[in-house]
Structure 1
Amino acid sequence: MKKDKLHNINSTGFKAPKDYFESFDEKLMQRLEENISIKGITATGFNIPKDYFDTVESKILDKVNEENKTKVISLFSRKHMYYVSGIAASLLFLFAIFINNSNAEELSVEMVESYFADSDLDSYELAELLSDADVLEDNFTLIETEYNEENLEEYLLENADIEAFLE
């Protein structure tokens, strides 16, 4: 039957005998009171093993207490944790570099000279600071001059304060 003709069907196709539902309750009750079993059947067909209810409790407890030997896979492995922590550290590092815009002034030669002039450092302390600071670079060269007493004496007379040497 085609689907387009389903709206034309008026009956269900099932029929019940006349007065079936009015007399059904009475017939059922009569049948139950007779207690007649089906011919040829003497047993229900269900058997319970011997001592079933005595041992069932221990069997159930044994199965419940039995350890599962299934492999457990963790959702958070160390390998993934290392990846995540590495990414987080690199993002933090990039954030610290690009966001930190400190306005640091560049040191000029005049600023360094004025600092040393205003500070009370003697030559030994200054030499120690310079050696600790690794000021000497690869391209820094010293000009070697010949040591000669006349040059030294001239320099001291022109540039040195004699009172500073006497102290």
Structure 2
Amino acid sequence: MIVVADTSPINYLVQIRQEEILERLFEQVYLPSVVYGELQDPLAPERVRLWSGHLPAWIAVVSPTIVPPDAALSLDPGETEAITLALELRSNFLPIDELKGRAVALLLGLKLNGTLGVLRDAHNHGWLNGRAVSAELRQTKFRCSEHMEQIYLASLK
């Protein structure tokens, strides 16, 4: 399975100490070089910067070699590279949270999953307590609508 990740899901999973579920779900995750740079940004949370400084073997940092689609050029550089690399590698999933990025990715035919989707899938495999990690996630800067949180909680088996 090929998975290319945007910054946000990696950032929040690392903050709540659940990044290893990405390996369990997907085995290999590709990070665009711009996303990797965002994780190492001095303004990123310290835990995220430290983690990204010693990436696990199941993470590969790759730069896309194709020209970004016009629809992605209006996004931030990390989202643009994530979508472009996902298209280039024919990714099975693109974990991405930002609404504008999700809309563009869907328009381009990519299959999406975000932070909540990754947590839901891990919960439904029995690897974590989705309700408990949801409470931890609320302690970060992660934001979603109350409606989206209710959908997430209802999806936990």
Pairwise TM-score range, normalised by the shorter structure: under 0.3
Q: TM-score, normalised by structure 2?
A: 0.17
Q: Which has more radius of gyration?
A: 1
Q: Which has the higher contact order (CA 8 A, sep 6+)?
A: 2
